[in-house]
Structure 1
Amino acid sequence: MRNKMVKLLVALVATVSLTNAQEKFKPNWDSLKKHKPAPEWFADAKLGVYFHWGVYNVPANGNEWYGRFMYEKDRRKNWGKDIYDYHTKTYGRDIDYHDFIPQWKAEKFSAKRWVDMFENMGAKFIGTIAEHHDGFSLWKSEVNPWNSFDKGPGIDVVKEIGQEVKKRDLKFMTTFHHGFHMHFYPKKENSFLRPLSMHAATYKDPEVPQDEEYRILYGNTTYKEECDIWLGKLNEVIESSCPDYIWMDFAQGYIKEDYRLQFLANYFNKAKELNKDVVVNTKGTFFPTNLAVVNVERATMEDITDEVWVTDFQLGSSWGYNKDKRTAVDPQKMIKILAEVISKNGVMILAAAPMAEGVIPVEQAETMKEIGAWLQLYGEGVYSTRPFVEFGQGPTELKRNPEDEWNDYGAIKAGLYDLNAKDIRYTKKDKNVYAIQLGWPGSKKEIALETFAGKAKDLKIKSISVLGSKERIKWKKTADGLVVTSPKKKPAKGDAAIVYRIKLR
């Protein structure tokens, strides 16, 4: 009897193992679409953060596209057009982008200090850029000799940030922007066959170094080589770190489809092996939305979406640190935009811009501190919530800017920074509805929550309070909606937003 039981158990284990093996993701869309785009942890998180840090932080002028624009002498678009002249006057034409690499020391970098700062801001997933368009990897790479461990600072940034994040109850992300690498640096006319791009720059005699030594860095490669390196880099990070979220920038569609399929299969299978629920996004159409979360840049959606989506905003004046524009976003405005995003089923990512030496500018640090202070008090109405029957109300008009050249990767932007105390955004969790008023309206001011005369009119209300206030809140149901009266005394950090907790029966 015992032998029969042992044989039965062995057979069962073999069957389960065979089933698991058969259920591996294959590099085709039918197989990959079985992956759930947004796991619960991602829908719960609401706020994440990463940073742009790299060789471009050494000149720290303009933005993170410095390595491109320093060679683009006839750039017509306003964005980055002054960088060529700046580089010429400051460094001279005999200094190339790779000459900045030994100057990137990162001598003050501390993964612990950065992750502490991000966690205190209230981020539930934290990460690092893995590689920007410039082709310089921020991990110890066998595929790419141009990496931050073997050159420059001598640091495996992905590993150090990842280890620090994983010590805490947080999720880890990496961002990849390298799909555009093949078009990032100006090319010699008719030199390399690859997909056409409106963002490509070609010259009869480009100033970008053509030496064999720098071929991989500057993308003077065949199309197949570029695709092979693209996939090889992703595979290295998947094997060494398997991030919970691999964020993808625009232009991954330049990579051949079979390589993109293989990346997704490799990532999803590694995650399955580790029993992790992972996220990947699409910015454009390079991945289908039935397996990837939609990303829009510095934007929102028109209304509540069926699926979770994600947007990203910069903390500084640009994605990469600019020493000539030492500014940071207004934390109160970012809190209002966060409420707008989550009310429509979105998740927000903020991007820090550290200095080359490894210091996050005080302006950005203060913004993160203020956001964290508000979330510490009112996070109940943010984390693990879901959209209500309507996203909200208010006079501020949010719309698409037809002049935005990045419209393909964004949505509604105009008006976001104008949200104010006349605007309301809703979330819900369990038996609670949260009405987030986007600013302090003043003492004892009434506002009618109109959805309670419409889609939510049949809901029975048990009580209403304001988070962070001990005052009894006056309320009444009318034909115009649920009329609530603000507290006499402004709650702490209430200039950014106040949160009404509406308990349902």
Structure 2
Amino acid sequence: MPAPARAELDDPGKPKSVPGRFQPTVESLRTYQTPEWFRDAKFGIWAHWGPQAVPRQGDWYARFMYVPGHPHYDYHVKTYGHPSEFGYKDLIPLWTADKFDPDALMEKYAAAGAKYFVSMGVHHDNFDLWNSRHHRWNATAMGPKRDIVGAWKTAARRQGLRFGVSEHLGASYCWWYPNHLYDQFWPKLGIGYDGADPRYRDLYHDNRDQPFRNTPDSWYTSNPDYHLKWYKRIRDLVDNYQPDLLYSDGGLPFGAIGRSLLADLYNSSMARSGKLEAVYNSKDSGSGEFHREWAVQDVERGVLKGINPLPWQTDTSNGDWFFNENYSYKTADDVVTMLADIVSKNGNMLLNVVLHADGSLPPESEQLLADLTAWMAVNAQAIHGTRPWKIDGEGPTEAAAGMFKEKVAYTARDIRFTTKGDRLFAITLGQPTGSVAITSLATGNPHEGRSVKRIRLLGHRGAMAFRQTGQALVIDAPATLPTRHASVFEITFA
């Protein structure tokens, strides 16, 4: 069946399209330009958080608890019981978020350098974290019995942060089909999991028709009824919380329906402020529709190669996407050096800082925020409000381009560049000892023909001793550095 026309969205009982400059066509949406606030922000923090944090086993628990042979299934049977008797619906009440203090958390996020904050809106588990008008399975009605999205938004605004929401609902219909299946072995052979119970079909979907294979062509369903359900719920999220940013976990879903939602997002933003302030993140992953002109490209756990002409974003996490007691964590070294590499290439980093199910921070997340706070207190001016230089950097280490390629062992010889006005910042992706040689600033180098006038190490009193030769700009680093993880040299020219 073809996708419903836009006129059908304006039928009684359905959300009304928002009039304005943008129409749900590729040509119209391609006139989008990324707002300056996002280009200046550079660093955001995400709460990728919800009921799937309860088992402490990590991401995609809601799916794999229904897949025999997977560790999540084995853990679930051992801890909670068989999924025909204790399913995901029974896990939701265990997510009480009883230690959730959004104001205290947001204060730490802002101190750590975040300029925008993104709340999970709904994950693939089909559980809405807001006061949902169209779905009874939501956080105000069960679990925390609290408007999680609304609480995050209030806290973000108090700290002066831009606010965003993420939606992973588009893929839920296909992703979650295992909840309808059953064991193919004794002693539960042929006994259906609780997703097959028609009483809960609004949570588990009636999705036997389209299984998910974790390939781009099976990420989004072709079922037009589900397209409309997705549109109504995400429009409800956007209309009621008016986010500055909306993130989809994939390309833009569902053709004309998705383009209608995107046009509504942009037109609503212009109606509120008189200018386009909204950002839409989507992925060039082969699923859905993607045009880098109409959205900010998002790269999951990876980076792009070189300086991208358009702003883009890496989304990553300091641990697993949901709390996982068996998962290793990124250090502040990992995060700072990755951030510098991304910013030098005209990108932003959106970092999930892992939360326990109760809303408290694991020790690793607490330590990361403390380390980022100390580093940003000295070096934030080389990150926020900057733009790329003529090249992104130099050194022996280059991150591989693409998603899921974020493990890189940078050294102090790896340098990334950012600019602000007449100042050039050279960020060493390691702690330098002795001297720092920047070959891109050698005398007569085509990247920068001017002579260096002055060099300052951020956080260090006094100018740096340096010499500019035909081979490199050589800076004598002090024996004691003002910050750990990475050092920033501010360079001004004659």
Q: TM-score, normalised by structure 2?
A: 0.86
> Hey, what's the Cα distance between the residues in 1 that align with 2:300 and 2:485?
23
Structure 1 counterpart SS, 2:299: strand
Structure 2 counterpart SS, 1:313: strand
1:10-159 map, 5 Å: 23-36=20-33, 38-61=34-57, 63-74=58-69, 81-93=70-82, 94-159=85-150
Q: 1:447 to 1:95 in 2, by over 3 A?
A: same
Equivalence for 1:210? 196
1:150-189 map, 5 Å: 150-187=141-178
Q: 1:303 to 1:227 in 2, by over 3 A?
A: same
Equivalence for 2:480? 490
User: 1:377: how far off?
Assistant: 0.6
1:223-248 C-alpha deviation (Å, 9 max, x unpaired): 23321221111111111111111111
Code of the residue aligned with 2:454 in structure 1: it is: S
Q: 1:116 to 1:147 in 2, by over 3 A?
A: same
Q: Is the 8 A contact 1:302 1:412 kept in 2?
A: no
Q: Which runs of 4+ in 1 moved over 4 A?
A: 187-190, 203-206
2:308 aligned residue (299, 305, 308): 305
Q: Is the 8 A contact 1:434 1:500 kept in 2?
A: yes
Q: 1:347 to 1:446 in 2, by over 3 A?
A: closer
1:317-328 map, 5 Å: 318-325=320-327, 327-328=328-329
User: 1:413: how far off?
Assistant: 3.4
2:266 aligned residue (262, 265, 268): 268
> Hey, what's the Cα distance between the residues in 2 that align with 1:23 and 1:268?
8
Code of the residue aligned with 1:447 in structure 2: it is: A
Unmatched 5+ stretches in structure 2: 1-17, 182-188, 210-222
1:448 aligned residue (438, 441, 460): 438
User: 1:127: how far off?
Assistant: 2.1
Q: Is the 8 A contact 1:389 1:455 kept in 2?
A: no
Structure 2 counterpart SS, 1:135: coil
1:301-450 map, 5 Å: 301-316=304-319, 318-325=320-327, 327-399=328-400, 410=403, 412-414=405-407, 416=408, 418-442=409-433, 444-450=434-440
> Hey, what's the Cα distance between the residues in 1 that align with 2:386 and 2:229?
40
Equivalence for 2:218? none
Unmatched 5+ stretches in structure 1: 1-20, 75-80, 191-202, 401-406
1:295 aligns with 2:298: yes
CA RMSD of aligned residues (A): 2.2
Structure 1 counterpart SS, 2:325: coil
Q: 1:100 to 1:462 in 2, by over 3 A?
A: same
> Hey, what's the Cα distance between the residues in 1 that align with 2:119 and 2:180?
35
> Hey, what's the Cα distance between the residues in 2 that align with 1:354 and 1:434?
33
Q: 1:246 to 1:358 in 2, by over 3 A?
A: same
> Hey, what's the Cα distance between the residues in 2 that align with 1:245 and 1:273?
16
User: 1:504: how far off?
Assistant: 2.3
Equivalence for 1:463? 454
Structure 2 counterpart SS, 1:232: helix
> Hey, what's the Cα distance between the residues in 1 that align with 2:72 and 2:299?
27
Q: Is the 8 A contact 1:332 1:371 kept in 2?
A: no
> Hey, what's the Cα distance between the residues in 2 that align with 1:477 and 1:309?
34
User: 1:386: how far off?
Assistant: 0.6
Equivalence for 1:258? 256
Give the percent of matched residue pairs that are identical in Structure 1 and Structure 2: 29
1:283 aligns with 2:280: no
Q: TM-score, normalised by structure 1?
A: 0.84
Q: Is the 8 A contact 2:458 2:488 kept in 1?
A: yes
